Amino acid sequence: MESPKLDDIIEAWRYRTRRDSPLRMTSVCVQALRLLAKGKPVSAEQFASVSHMSLTEVSDSFSQLKDYGAEFDKEGNLVGVVLTLTPTSHQFRVNGCNLFAWCALDAVFLPALLDQPAEVKSRCPAAGVDIRLTITPEGIEAVDPPDTVVAVVIPGVTPSCQAGVKSGPQGPLCSAIHFFSSHEAASTWLVAHPGMAILSLDEAWQLAREVWVKPYG
């Protein structure tokens, strides 16, 4: 099977983002990310104060975020949407706070949306090797191991990423997107996860920049 072209992967993600993330909700999501980056749950009252929305509007927005896959605690506070307080495989340290990203691709574009550099630590699910990256709003600055790649789903192509699939760390979309220590390690993952693509870090940054950073950063 011919490997998908980067331009086609970018367009597939653009289409999914436009379809599933209305502009208003994307703005809400970015505001939520910047509050979560402080390392604490976000209450409806806090979000209303920062966003200048009414509590009714915030309640409606939180409900929509929950439908998208966002995480809330028992008190109804927002604790995760792309960036999360809940542990995942992708540790994300920003602004002195130890947080987590829902998936590897999220970790790539989050620094640009937060306008802050971040230190990322992940683990190759195939080789069991720790992966460390320094990511700034301008792109990936440092990585170890140097041959690290990213395996990504392709909306509308990957069987687990069809219309209506929720995001979230436990969902079929985010749970399949990982950093791998090498192209060879990623290739073993794709045997059991058909319809995905392996991207270099430069390609992953191009995807992140075109789909999330330029429109919303």
Phi, psi of 9, rounded to the nearest 5 degrees: -65, -45
Catalytic-residue membership of 106: yes
Q: Quick one: which H or E segment has residue 142?
A: strand 139-144
In order, the DSSP letters of 161-205 are --TT---STTSTTGGG-EEESSHHHHHHHHHHSTT-EEEEHHHHH
Of the candidates 7, 29, 106, 202, the residue annotated as catalytic is 106
**Which of the following is catalytic: 29, 124, 161, 174?**
174
- Is 124 designated active site? no
* Residue 7 backbone phi and psi in degrees, to 5: -60, -40
Is residue 2 within 8 A of residue 190, CB to CB? The reply is no
Residue type at position 76: G
Catalytic: which of 29, 103, 124, 161?
103
Asked if residue 200 lies in contact with residue 159, where contact means CB atoms within 8 angstroms, the answer is: no
Q: Residue 210's closest CA among 21, 16, 13? A: 13
Report the C-alpha dihedral over residues 54, 57, 62, 67, rounded to 10 degrees. Answer: 180
Active site residue 29: no
Catalytic sites, residue numbers? 103, 106, 174
